[in-house]
Amino acid sequence: MKRTTWLTSCMMVLGAAILLGGWIPGGGTVHAADFENETTKGVQSKNIHTQNYDWNWYHPVRSYLYRNQDGTYTRVECVDGALYAEVYDAAFQFQSQKKIGLELKEFGGVYRSGDTYFVVEGQENSAKAAVGTTEFRIIKYDRNWNRLTSADIPNANTAKPFDAGSCRFAEKDGMLYIRTCHEMYNGHQASVMFQVRMEDCNVITANYDVANSAYGYISHSFNEFMAVRNGVLYACDHGDAYERGITVMRYDSVAEGVRSFSNRVTAVIALPFEGEAGKNYTGATLGGFAVSDTHAIAVGASVPQDDTEGTIRNLFVATVDVKNFNGNGTTVNWLTQYSQDEERTVSNPQMVELAGGQYLVMWEEYVESTFDKLYYVVIDGTGHTVSAIRSIGAPLSECQPVVNGDSVVWYVTEESAPVFYQLPVSGEVAAAKKNTKFTKEGILYKVTKSSKTAGKVTVVGFEKKKMEKNITIPDKVRYNGYSYTVTAIAAKAFRKCTKLTGIDLPVTVTSIGKQAFEGCKKLEVMKITYKKYKTTNVGKNAFKGVPKKVVVIVPDAKVSTYQKLFKKRGMKTGTKFYKQSTAWYYY
């Protein structure tokens, strides 16, 4: 993960559980190292929290993960106008990468079926109905990303493909169904659906004209999902007008051809929204959709859909009985019950289908707009919970999690290569054992106290392959789902780190080991926050060899005390110390 350092800003100032048979209560404990797996290779991107959309509409998903039969994983992601297909082994170590350039400017989505991939792309038709302009293209590749064939869809009433929505897939009887959205030539936004014969990539149905929900059309359509169950095709959209709500649709027939007026669709509003038709803000998001043997299930987040004004969202599970597929067959269950007076709110969720007719629902929670934890619960095919709600310190992304035995796996990037998370649904993640070493953002830590709620770590130094000039030591660091307080700098932690020019130590660091910064001859700025350093918690020669020109910023009342103390610990006579409150004025 990319680090933003205190020194960077300071120098600017100074310069100016699920098993194959189903969910089993209780579960077991999973070793910490199995949960979080940070990689150093792979294309860098930033998809953290991108499953969430807290305003109006969603976007095409760019991050995909597939589990292979041999236990490896394939990551496919669209980054800077190209697709990157990467293989990681069962331990999430990078193996290979292939780059596939986009053929059109706009990316819609990727779908894998057996040994083939289908990629949907598009381009704007600024001329609006210029004859022959390809507005959508479906491209078929083999497992090794050799291009096999493609199908173009021109003159599809599309000025902007994939505009203000997503692109999802389902397959049935050799047909691939693609549901997305577009801005029409007249500036109106709505859903689009294509039916493609997978064998030869021929487009059988292209529904892109104005219609209504009786034909599978939603306007405006801000997020789209599809599913197949027992041979029946379903869709689910987040709409703001026609229909205004989370709408679940059952395709009773799909007519061939370019228009949708011969489709036969039963549409049910599972969660209606307050407000006038066409008002973009709905206060809700749609995060997942699936169909069990008994119910169509939509999960998402929403403010109260009544006359109450508020911004705090709660997590909903909206269901439609497949045998009573109408308004009377709908039920809405709320997994969270935060009031509008609270500072806690939920993100848009992810939903994962598990074995045994059950589903994992995962969501993030935020306190005063700051990410707190990941929460998760198992629900059954009727939308009711069958496990307790649990939490762990990990973020989500737009990457749809995949099932691996009794765990689910997804990845997150933050201007970095991927970090893979493997969550045991029916068990718990153990806190790291004492003396466990781990690297976060290039800094090596050692666990000195193992605890799920009060763990502690010591900074050991830099990861051997990565040494940065300016670093901020955090007060807390997350590792494998738990938070650890950073309490010490180990002996010789940064000894002879000749590239180190700046260090910022938080108030939680209460001891500095002997020779911790010895020989850091290019050190220019140190910020010390803790107020109770003494000869007993600053080791011998901790600052020996640090240049005299270094600027040391300390708590206001400690300038004189720390000058004397640090001199005893190797800092050169004449080194300048400044109060934190007045350091600004000296530079």
Cβ(76)–Cβ(67) under 8 Å? no
Whether 308 is covered by a domain: the verdict is no
Q: How far is CA 290 from its chain centroid?
A: 20
Cβ(351)–Cβ(299) under 8 Å? yes
Whether 185 is covered by a domain: the verdict is yes
pLDDT band at 308 (very low <50, low <70, confident <90, very high): confident
> Looking at residue 21, what is its pLDDT?
34
pLDDT digits (tens, 9 = 90+) for 156-181: 999 999 999 999 999 999 999 999 99
Percent of the chain with pLDDT over 90: 84
Q: How far is CA 288 from CA 351, 380, 381, in A?
A: 5, 14, 14
Whether 73 is covered by a domain: the verdict is no
> Looking at residue 94, what is its pLDDT?
97
Residue 137 pLDDT > 60:
yes
Q: Is residue 138 classed exposed, middle or buried when 0-12, 13-18 and 19+ CB atoms within 10 A define those classes?
A: buried
Domain end position, chosen among 241, 274, 307 = 274
Separation CA 351–CA 401 (nearest Å): 8
**Tokens 């959508």 sit on residue:** 136
- The candidate with the shortest Cα–Cα distance to 101, out of 136, 65, 145, 61, is 145
Whether 97 is covered by a domain: the verdict is no
Domain end position, chosen among 274, 307, 326 = 274
> Looking at residue 307, what is its pLDDT?
79
Strands (E), 82-126: 82-88, 94-101, 106-113, 116-122
State the chain's mean pLDDT as an integer.
91
pLDDT band at 131 (very low <50, low <70, confident <90, very high): confident
Cβ(187)–Cβ(163) under 8 Å? no
Separation CA 202–CA 82 (nearest Å): 24
pTM of the model: 0.85
- The candidate with the shortest Cα–Cα distance to 218, out of 57, 51, 383, 382, is 57
Domain end position, chosen among 274, 301, 328 = 274
Percent of the chain with pLDDT over 70: 93
Residues 472-501, mean pLDDT to the nearest whole number: 94
Separation CA 159–CA 126 (nearest Å): 6
Structural domain of 215: 102-274
Residues 303-331, mean pLDDT to the nearest whole number: 94
Q: What are phi and psi of 329, to 5 degrees?
A: -95, 10
**What are the helix (H) ranges across 227-374?**
none
Whether 507 is covered by a domain: the verdict is yes
DSSP run (H or E) holding 111: strand 106-113
- The candidate with the shortest Cα–Cα distance to 401, out of 352, 464, 361, 358, is 352
Counted domains in the chain: 2
Residues 41-56, mean pLDDT to the nearest whole number: 95
Whether 67 is covered by a domain: the verdict is no
Q: Helix or strand or coil: residue 505?
A: strand
- The candidate with the shortest Cα–Cα distance to 473, out of 448, 501, 508, 499, is 508
CA angle 198, 202, 207 (to 5 degrees): 100
pLDDT band at 466 (very low <50, low <70, confident <90, very high): low
Separation CA 214–CA 21 (nearest Å): 38
Instruction: Supply the CATH number for residue 473's domain.
Output: 3.80.10
Whether 339 is covered by a domain: the verdict is no
Residue 400 pLDDT > 90:
yes
Whether 222 is covered by a domain: the verdict is yes
Q: Is residue 272 classed exposed, middle or buried when 0-12, 13-18 and 19+ CB atoms within 10 A define those classes?
A: middle
- The candidate with the shortest Cα–Cα distance to 191, out of 209, 211, 218, is 218
